[in-house]
Structure 1
Amino acid sequence: MTIDRADTDRAQTSGSAAAGVPRARAEAPTTPADLSAEQLLAAYAAGELSPVEAVDAVLERVEQDNPALNAFCLVRPEEAREAARASAERWRRGAPAGKLDGVPTAIKDIHLTKGWPTLRGSVTTHQDGPWSEDSPVVARLREAGAVFFGKTTTPELAWKGVTDSPLTGVTRNPWDLSTTPGGSSGGSSAAVAAGMGPLATGTDGGGSIRIPASFTGICGLKPTWGLVPHYPASPFGSLAHTGPMTRTVGDTALMLEVITGPDPRDWAALAPPGPGLADVRYRTDAGELVRGMRIAFSPTLNGIDVHPEVARAVADAVAVFEELGARVEEVDPDLPESRDEFHVLWFSGAAKATEKLTARDRDLLDPGLRETIEEGLTYSAQDYLTAMALRMEMGARMGRFHTEYDLLLTPTMPITAFEAGLESPPELAGERWTSWAGFSYPFNMTQQPAASVPCGFDGAGLPVGLQIVGPRHADARVLAACRALEIARPWADRRP
């Protein structure tokens, strides 16, 4: 089932009223593809299920659903089955290799994966390789026994908040095939939402984990910057985070346990966060997780226009925290407008990422990416330092803010998923993706942990996400709040 470019843009756009209308279901899982990583591991330990069965079920789901979704740009079934057989033998001996032994795991096509091409969604990347190295996140997952079966689609160089590229075509949302899953980790989010693997890696430089998590109704975490090591160093610098994308908070915490910690190739990597993540996984009392917390709720983050259906779903979720015993106050953090400064940093990064391309190669790039590169080349070092100065001021303001508030809650996105293949919704035609991502990129500027968790649906049945933001290094606290909402308002069994 190796997928090539000719196979990847077969998404079905006709008949969206039938094929695209979301049909949520809340019954118990029916195949191993519907189980969480934690459930799979428990079944392996009890001898009730084999990693071979789990991987076969996921590959069957990929074969069934990927032609419509275009979530994967590469699938390697035989390698996955071989790894699953080796995992099954380890479980038979009672000697699993690590915390994720036998769990099917998808890798975003930004992360280097030994033996597999990492094309970054670009026709300008040569497939020849040598592809001889794993990035840190892939290395840690491999050491933990995760079974890799494919690489997920991304826009070219992960440059925007939706997922389409000249290389792999348009990726679609499993809740409605006419809409985008968001991006840049849209392939990962579509895969997880559709049951094509319980775990997937994501990257987030301006919302690229949280945007697709919100649009597809899954859990996605952008950890504190540096907690998950990054190599090769991102051209987008310290805006770029790597994190987990899963269907449950327990799986998010489990995956984060595995992928954190220093790597010699990342000079800025932080130490692991300690035992708090594991503690989140085993807690079952929602009130105990958040009771007494001081939580700020910002419905508009200083004036963002939010769709009324999104606003209602988010407000309902925020009320849950009050019911659980948290002290919730509606307040806006004192953050300055930062879109122009984010553009300086982001567009300069895009220019740096493509500086060695020939003029012919540049002509092959996504037109929107070419435009951002051209703008990025106009910025001076003084522009860059001015943008960095605003970042530092934003970080200081949020640091002070979190001396009063343990967490900040906002909508993840002001809207739900819009038409696939567009950079922005029709009412913002001609605007860059940042025009509708104002809740996400400020927290890349400040490097804080921020998660998106499902909190409801709009009238068309499209998911709505709640963003939970914590101070730097408070990843376990963010996940505790995510877990509390998950216990109080379960979402994992509601699928497209």
Structure 2
Amino acid sequence: MPPALLVQATAVELLALYRSRSASPVEALRAVLAHVERHGAPLNAFALLDEERALEAARASEARWARGEPVGRLDGVPVSVKDLLLTRGWPTRRGSRTVDAAGPWTEDAPAVARLREHGAVLFGKTTTSEFGLKGLGDSPLTGITRNAWDPRRTPGGSSAGAVTAVAAGFGPLAVGTDGGGSIRVPSAFSGVVGCKPTFGRVPAHPASVVGVPPHVGPIARTVGDAALLLSVLSGPDDRDPFRAPPPREDALYLGALVAVDAPGASDALDPSGALDARFLRRVRVGVSATLGYVDLPGDTRACFDAAVALLRRLGAEVEEVAPPFADPGGVLRTLFAARAAHTVRELGPEQRALLDPAVQSAAAQGEALSAVAYLEAERQRAELALAMAVFHRRFDLLVTPTSAGAAPLIDGGALPPSFAAPFSLTRQPAISVPMGLTSAGLPLGLQIVGRHFEEALVLRAALAIERESAPLRAPPLRAS
């Protein structure tokens, strides 16, 4: 199969190709690595690439497929991991010059361990802002990561490299983290699908509840691929005391797969038979274009209105709603400041001088916080979560834009207001899916929010929208 087609293939399509022996894991990996070699330098999506180990894993996968003995759900699929997640054998420097690359690096985060168990071919670690504490795509360690749609623009952060890699065709899947929108907003800026699951659905290690703990989640080019990756990442791990119980059945995620349309796929992946437009009938959807505190520019409003109209055509019971809360930005900033202070608490003056100025500033704010101020922010977080619980007594889903605008310029551009933060605070599942392009040809995202642990409904609604929307073209890439 031509390498260009392998680069464009989804994970579900790659698995079907392996099954039919139309392509092999080694061919797919070589195509991805060649694509990175050709187009990767201007975008700077990777903190680390390991061709040798990746090829070793791909050859092992190829042998399993040849024997008819693939393991798990991702055997042979190239996957990258955000450089905040521990990965055995690779340094996890978290975008910081203060982290020693020497290690030792002997442990996998739970999500990475699950990827290995399911046969994924790990080939690199993607860039992040320092310690994941900034919504832009640069760090003192790796420099500036650029948007695949326009290298003059940021992909956002902190999962900058992950979304850039997936958008550019540097692998069909990436694992990111989201503490205040760090999967969803960059996904919107890059025209890809990014899902923040319910906190605890995907276990984390080291576990954290300081400030705004990150949610580990999938980034992909399709909802089906995101659902597949989430099904792999989810599950118990004793190292995370806050983990959720496993899903009642695999169909919770696999039922949302677009794989029923993929070559060679089995109808068993859709046990409910609900993957058609009729699924959204009688689903109660509250929609808000502003959440009461964001003004939308014309392009974003037009795309959002079109998405709402599509929901109505698909049979959803749609109602415009006023938000059940005020702007939670102050709460988020307080909790992020506490997290920043806790993160750098053991660094001496010389190491602190190496930090991103934004991290230095946030840590200083956190160190100045009183216990009363921190607990007040936690109280307001709890009130927000309660308000959303009351909201969901009436509505199954909340739909908003993901961000008020498209990706800003790196030089002098300001991040547009985000709709993502409230649902990091409430720890609900939320997904961003493409909802169109601005007049300048830049992607915009639609956010779908569900009740705690109702990822299945969120994914199915996202899939219904994806199926009825025009697919985005691949972003234009420059050669390195």
Q: TM-score, normalised by structure 2?
A: 0.93
Aligned-partner Cα distance in 2 for 1:392–1:256: 26
**Residues 54-73 of structure 1: matches in 2 within 5 Å?**
54-73=28-47
Residues in 1 aligned to 2:330 and 2:28: alpha-carbon distance in whole angstroms: 46
Q: What amino acid does structure 1 have at the position aligned with 2:305? A: A
CA distance in 1, matches of 2:452, 2:122: 31
- Cα drift, residue 380 of structure 1: 1.0
Aligned to 2:463: 483
Bigger shift: residues 315-324 or 284-293: 284-293
Find the counterpart in structure 2 of residue 276 from structure 1: 252
Aligned-partner Cα distance in 2 for 1:129–1:254: 32
Moved more, 207-216 or 308-317: 308-317
Q: Which amino acid aligns with 1:390?
A: Q
Cα deviations across residues 429-469 of structure 1 (Å, max 9, x unaligned)? Answer: xxxx6xx4441111111111010000100011000000001
Q: Do 2:212 and 2:335's aligned partners in 1 also have CA atoms closer than 8 Å?
A: no
**Inter-partner Cα distance in structure 2 for 1:337 and 1:279:** 35
Q: Deviations over 1:212-271 (max 9, x none)?
A: 100000000000010000111246455420100000001011001011011111001002
Mapped pair 1:367 → 2:357: yes
**One-letter code of the match for 2:463?**
R
CA distance 1:370–1:238, change in 2 (3 Å): closer
Q: Does 2:138 match 1:164?
A: yes
Number of residue-to-residue matches in the alignment = 459
Residue 155 of structure 2 is aligned with which of 181, 187, 210? Answer: 181
- What CA distance in whole angstroms lies between the structure 2 residues aligned with 1:441 and 1:90? 43
1:252-263 equivalence runs, <5 A: 252-263=226-237
User: Quick one: distance in 1 between partners of 2:289 and 2:472?
Assistant: 25
Shift of 1:208: 0.0
1:347 aligns with 2:321: no
Aligned equivalent of 2:434: 454
Letter in 1 for 2:72: G
Please give the residue correspondences for 1:84-123 in structure 2 after superposition, counting only pairs within 5 Å.
Answer: 84-123=58-97
2:174 and 2:449 mapped to 1: Cα distance? 21
Partner of 2:215: 241
Matches of 2:380 and 2:221, distance apart in 1: 35
Which of 126, 138, 149 lines up with 2:123 in the alignment?
149
The gaps in structure 1 that reach 5 residues or longer are: 1-27, 427-432
Q: Match for 1:463 among 443, 454, 458?
A: 443
Q: Do the aligned partners of 1:235 and 1:352 also contact (CA within 8 Å) in 2?
A: no
SS of residue in 2 equivalent to 1:377: helix
- The alpha-carbon deviation at position 210 of structure 1 amounts to 0.4
Residue 437 to residue 270, structure 1, CA distance change in 2 (3 Å): farther
For 2:167, the equivalent position in structure 1 comes to 193
1:400 corresponding residue in structure 2 = 390
CA contact (8 A) 1:220 1:451 kept: yes
**Cα distance, 1:46 vs. partner?**
0.8
State how far apart, in whole Å, the 2-side matches of 1:132 and 1:492 are: 40
Q: Which residue of 1 aligns with 2:285?
A: 295
SS at match of 1:67: coil
More deviation, 378-387/228-237: 228-237
Q: Deviations over 1:267-291 (max 9, x none)?
A: 0100223322111114574313312
**Do the aligned residues in 1 keep the contact of 2:193 with 2:433 (CA within 8 Å)?**
yes
Corresponding letter in the other structure for 2:466: E
Contact kept, 8 Å, 2:294 with 2:417, in 1: the verdict is: no
Distance 2:298 2:436 in 1: 13
CA positional deviation for 1:303: 2.5
Q: What code does the residue aligned with 2:219 have?
A: M
Give the C-alpha shift of residue 29 in structure 1. Answer: 9.2
Calculate percent identity across the aligned residue pairs: 47
Give yes or no for contact 1:108–1:187 (8 Å, CA) kept in 2.
yes
Alignment of 1:212-227 (within 5 A): 212-227=186-201
Contact map agreement 2:185 2:418 (CA 8 A) in 1: no
Deviation, structure 1 residue 327: 0.9
Structure 2, unaligned stretches of length 5 or more?
261-269
User: Take 2:144 and 2:451, find their aligned partners in 1: how far apart are those partners?
Assistant: 36
Q: Counterparts of 2:327 and 2:275 in 1: how far apart (Å)?
A: 38
Which residue does the alignment assign to 2:423? 443
Mapped to 2, the partners of 1:360 and 1:321 lie a distance apart of 54
The 1:197/1:236 distance shift into structure 2, 3 A limit, reads farther
Q: Is the 8 A contact 1:286 1:483 kept in 2?
A: no
Q: TM-score, normalised by structure 1?
A: 0.90
Structure 1 letter corresponding to 2:445: G
Compute the RMSD of aligned alpha carbons: 1.5
In 2, Cα distance between equivalents of 1:235 and 1:225: 10
Q: Report the counterpart of residue 265 of structure 2 in structure 1.
A: none
Q: CA deviation at 1:381?
A: 1.1
Contact 1:219 1:451 in 2 (8 A): yes
Residue equivalent to 1:16: none
